[in-house]
Structure 1
Amino acid sequence: MIEYTATCAIDEDDTVTAMRSENRVELEPSSRASVFLDPGPARTFARGILALADEIDGGEAEEARAIRVGDRVEIVRAERWSSAEEGRVGVVGTVDEDDDHLPYRVVDEHGVYIAWCAEVRRVDEPAEDAGPEPTPSPFARYVDEAKGLLEGTDHTATDVIILARELHESA
C-alpha cells in the first residue's frame, strides 16, 4: 500500500499520513495535535493526495485529452518535483496516451524539457514575459527514464514517481 507522510515543521513527532482506503483517501494524524507544514513539504504532500485520488477515479478532465503535440500550453499541474514550473508556458512535446496521470511532456520553444504534466491549459497567444530560464528539475531525467522503463505496462503516476525515486537513489 502506498502512503504519503508529512512531518510537522514544529514537532517532528507529529505527522499526518495519506493512504488509499478502498475508494477513498484516508488522512491519519499521528496524534490529536495539529500538523504544521512548510510550503514545500505541504505541496509534496498535497500532490501525493492528488495521486491517490487520481488512482481512485482517474482524475483527468475530459477536455484535457484534446491537447496535441505542438500546442502552446500553460502548465497547471506538473509532476511533484516540478511544481515550480506550474504557471509556466511551453509547448507540448509528447502526449503519452497510455499514461492517465502524467500524459504531457512540455518543452520550451527550443525543445528543452520543462516537466511531465498531469494538467495543462492551451493558450492562444505567446506569453508576454515568460521570465528567466528556469533550472531544469534534477529529477526530470529519472522521471523520463522511469516512464521509458514502464512503457507498455499498466502503470500509474505513483509507479513512475516511485521508480524515478529509486533510480535517483541508486545513481
Structure 2
Amino acid sequence: MTEYKIQCGADPADHILAVVDGNDVGLQAYENGNFRMSVWSSPDKMRTFARGILALAGEIDGGEDKPTPSRSVKVGDRLRVTKSRLEYANVVVGEVVTVMGVDSCGGFSTDGRDHEGQHRWSFGDESVGNGLEFVDEPAQRPVKVGDRVRIVRNAYDYDYEDRDYIGRIGTLTVIDPDDQPYRVAFDDNDYWWCAEVELVDELADVATTTDSPRAALLEEAARYLPPGASGADLVMVARFLEGE
C-alpha cells in the first residue's frame, strides 16, 4: 500500500496519512500517534482536493519550487534557527536544535529548548537554507554557575532595554528551570535574566583586540601564575593589577 505522511509542525505525533488501497484514496488522521478517523474517496475527487491544497499553499509562498538542499539532514545534525515560528514550531532566531529523526517522506524531527534530546518539532527538507542552517562547530559543554558568559538571547523583547543586554559579558550566578533560566551578573553590579548564553574565553577576546589597554596587564598577570593557568585566572589577576 502506497502512503504519504504530513506531520503537524507543533507536534510530530499528530499527522495525516494519504494512502492508496486498491482503487481508493484515503486520508487517515492520527492524534498523538493514535488513529482517530479516515476519509475515503475516488481518485478524481482526491485530485480536486489536492489541487485546492496546492492553491492555498501557493497563496502563502507563491508556489515556487523550493531548492533541494545540497546537504542531507541526518540524525545528530545541529541546526540554527534563522526564522522564528518556522513551520509553526515554537522556535526563535538563534536557537540551535538537534535532529532526532529523519522521515522517509522528506522531513525530519528535532528537539527543542524545552525538550532537549526529545522529539519535539517537525520540519520539511525545504526549511534547510530557508529558516534553518547547519551548525558545524562542536557543541559547547553545558554552562555552570561561575562561568563567564555572553548573553545571546532573551525569551522576551518588550522594549529597547532588553536588546541592550544582548552581547554583554558577565558571570553566570543562577540557573533556574524556566524560560529565562540564566542570571548573569556584570562587573558594574548590574544583572540580567536571559534565555540563552554562550561560554566566553575572555583571554581570547582581549588578545584579539590589539588596542585593548589590558593586553599588557594580561602579560604581567601571566608572570604571577603557573604555566597552564586558565583564562579566567589570568583575567582575575589582571583586574587585581588594574585596581578593580
Range of TM-score over shorter length:
0.3 to 0.5
Between the two structures, name the one with larger relative contact order (CA 8 Å, sep ≥ 6): 1
**Higher strand proportion:** 2
Task: Give the TM-score normalised by the residue count of structure 1.
Answer: 0.38
**Higher helix proportion:** 1
